[in-house]
Structure 1
Amino acid sequence: MIPNATDLALKMRRLTQWVDSQRQPASLIRRQFHGGSLGNCYVTIDLDRQTPFASSNLNRVYMCGAEPGMSSQGVARLIDLFLTEGVKRFFVWLSPGPDMDLARGWLEQHGLSRIRRTGYPTLCRTGHAPVPFNTDLEVREVSADEIADASDQLGETLWPEYTRCAGRESFFHYMAFDDRRPVAIAALCIFEDIGYLMAAATAESHRKRGAQQALIAKRVERAERSGCSMLVSETLYMIEHSYRNLQRAGFVEAYEKEIYEWNA
């Protein structure tokens, strides 16, 4: 059964905080607010990551609706917080929570506009049927040493967020190989009762060979073996192959995060 969207959103915010602590650079400023005019939002600040795209800009506010304590004044304080740090563009990631229309109104009142180029769905899987896949690639779990050795061959396919958490407790890393050459990556982390599928990428020259479906299957199997009651992944609607692969593996959409941009 798909969990309540608000309950899942709150758990995903806790997961995001924990994953950030494990895989993001030490230079990332992370702040968690409890109560007051900022409610319980989680904030990250990175002067070096002010790109125009929400997925790659690490200047973010994670909100779950209009939680107790949050107010219109709180949104103004958040803007001042980023401006004081020298940030000229940040994004609010709004997930399900109480009084969503009120939260949307506060954001728009202070000049934030919703990004509608694409959507940002959170998908979950609660069934236990094996995930079918078909590939001629070898897919297996890899160690931190193997990941380091693969860096030259994978190039930009080897995301920094994938390598930083290699070897850490509760993280499991996988690769797909064509003979001995690594061509695709993916990771799993286990948090509370959730198995979180993350950091998937395939070298362009080896796409459409079933690598990602096989990597999903391996991670689902590992998470279920570890006792996870639910598996979760996040993607974008515009990455159609990722969205379809997750659906084929039994993932269903739980909610869509709303992304709002503030630009000085």
Structure 2
Amino acid sequence: MPEELAARAEAVEAEFMYQYESSAPPSIAAALGITTTRIGGGVALSMRHDPTGYWSKALGFGFDEPVTAGLVDRVLDFYRSEGSVGAVLQIAPSVLPADWADIARRHGLRPGGRIVKLACPIEDFTPAGETALRIEHVGPGDARAWASVVLKGFGMPEEGLAEMLVAVAGHPNWRPFAAWEGDRIVGGASLFLHGEVASLNSGAVLADHRNRGAQSALIAARVREAASAGCRWLVAETGEPAEGVGNPSLNNMLRAGLQRLYTRQSWIWSPGGIS
């Protein structure tokens, strides 16, 4: 696996997560307790009042500056200073140091979920499947409904988080797309442009409209947009399924030509951990 591609894959994810949270309107940032910072080439994102346990995470490390005990100390000091109730560290396996087990043990980091990182040159993408649903770019008038559907698709509450998603919808590097049945949005997804790299993220479909080709069609629409914008690489990530359990999002991306780069272990930190 080329190290440069791993660096790009981690950087684009770190940047879109940073923009999601740092772009929240001031009133929403205050209500959710959002603070963001850049450390050692990566980002650390804290949401003290996160109703989901998803948004406090640190990622993008190991390429501008090596992952060391000192770097991890700086990241966790940030979370302690913010009064965070917990956070997740996500570091590509190729940049974990030889003493990572000792670092994790010292801070009481425990393994969490595993994330599959995928990528491919944009010319290797192959559209897969068809849908009768209408797939279009989301304009300002539909941004709130789009955010609502994305959050519902992931099983997340809307309060505060919907406004956070809407805030990036009009940014020039963000291209939200939706699947409509008639005049109702039933699925949504985002494209984030970062230089030559396009990130396919935030794809979700309402439970009663799954298995109708919406996910594959949303992927295809975003890839066409990325190609028009001059991007050369597609990058995405999704949860690694448990043994014997399928992941439709992973299957859809593999069918479309994206390839597994690596699987990244998440590491969970809580204030009561060893330090």
Flag whether TM exceeds 0.5 (same fold): yes
Q: Distance in 1 between matches of 2:77 and 2:146?
A: 43
Q: Distance in 2 between matches of 1:68 and 1:170?
A: 26
1:127–1:250 CA contact under 8 A, matched in 2: no
Within the candidate set 56, 60, 64, 1:59 is matched to 56
Within the candidate set 120, 133, 139, 1:143 is matched to 139
Show the counterpart of 2:110: 113
Show the counterpart of 2:69: 72
Q: Return the offset for 1:138.
A: 1.3
Q: Return the offset for 1:154.
A: 7.9
1:64–1:97 CA contact under 8 A, matched in 2: no
Show the counterpart of 1:218: 221
Task: Tell me how many residue pairs correspond in the alignment.
Answer: 250
Unpaired stretches in structure 2, ≥5 consecutive residues: none
Q: Distance in 1 between matches of 2:150 and 2:88?
A: 30
Show the counterpart of 1:31: 37
Mapping of residues 101-250 of structure 1, within 5 Å = 101-115=98-112, 118-128=113-123, 129-148=125-144, 156-157=152-153, 160=162, 162-238=165-241, 240-250=247-257
Q: Return the offset for 1:29.
A: 1.6
- RMSD of aligned residue pairs (Cα, Å): 2.8
What residue identity is the alignment partner of 2:171?
Answer: R
Normalised by the size of structure 1, how large is the TM-score? Answer: 0.82
Q: Distance in 2 between matches of 1:66 and 1:191?
A: 17
Q: Distance in 1 between matches of 2:220 and 2:239?
A: 20
Instruction: Give % identity.
Output: 21
Q: Return the offset for 1:149.
A: 5.6
Instruction: Classify 1:50/1:66 alpha carbon distance in 2 versus 1 (closer, same or farther; 3 Å).
Output: farther
Q: Distance in 2 between matches of 1:72 and 1:192?
A: 31
Unpaired stretches in structure 1, ≥5 consecutive residues: 35-39
- Residues 26-77 of structure 1 show CA distances to partners (whole Å, capped at 9, x for unaligned) of 533222224xxxxx442122211275x5xx1x32222545975653344344
Q: Return the offset for 1:178.
A: 1.3
